[in-house]
Amino acid sequence: MIISFFEEFPTKKNLEKINFVHWPTKLYIAAKSLKQFNKIKSEIKNRNITDFVYWPALEINEGYWISPFSNRAALKRVFNELKDTKTSIMLDLELPTYKNPKLYLTQLFNFSRNKSLIKKFIKNHHGKIYLAEYYPEGKRKEKFLQFLGLHYKSNKTKIIKMVYHSMHHFNKEFITNEIKNGKKEFGNDFLVAYGTIAPGIGGWEPKLSLSQLEDDLRIAEEIGIKEVIIFRLGGLDRKYLKVLKKFIP
């Protein structure tokens, strides 16, 4: 099982935590542009990183996350800069509720066009595509997410379900079954994100306990999930590292 990391705030201090990692890993880096991402990537010297994945983060007034309610011009800007590249990319598919709910009104007219724009990008992009989605809650929720443009079925994407136990009190049996169902449907293209071990853009996200992280990783290992992504690198310390090392081949 590969254990990878998100980094939403790629400061020097946060990125230095990659020096704790002595196993093959991936790093998902949030950036405002492809140019910024490439600059950050070029400054990281760690041979254990097998892939750098560009995580486009829009401006707050544009929606921050990617969805059909994001500012249309911002979506076009992100997708145009990736045209004809093979850059590995992760679209963080979330609604703008907490950052700019006004977009529900200003982008309502663009909803269908934006949804088609995202779908077209997923279909045509030449590089690897990862889609970070809300945690699983059954088939009905998945269909609703699909309607909202927050879930796209494609044989060329990898689906990342954000199972953040520090923020949501999931029933162990339920979440285990949901992860099993995801694995059954998408095979090795189904990935799981765990956390949070450091706050995100909200600033309030609580830290995941060591025991819960170990339980979460055990579930993924037993089900046969090929990659787990930890949110986020900047929170990595010796205590969390000790837990992670139990699952490194």
Mean of all residue pLDDT scores within the chain: 95
Phi, psi of 63 (to 5 degrees): 120, -15
Pick from 31, 16, 178: which is nearest to 92 by CA?
31
The whole-model pTM stands at: 0.96
Give pLDDT, residue 10.
98
Distance CA 61, CA 102 (A): 9
Q: What percent of the chain has pLDDT over 70?
A: 100
**pLDDT, tens only, 179-236:** 999 999 999 999 999 999 999 999 999 999 999 999 999 999 999 999 999 999 999 9
Interior angle at CA 136, CA 131 and CA 139, nearest 5: 105
**pLDDT, tens only, 132-161:** 999 877 777 888 899 999 999 888 999 999
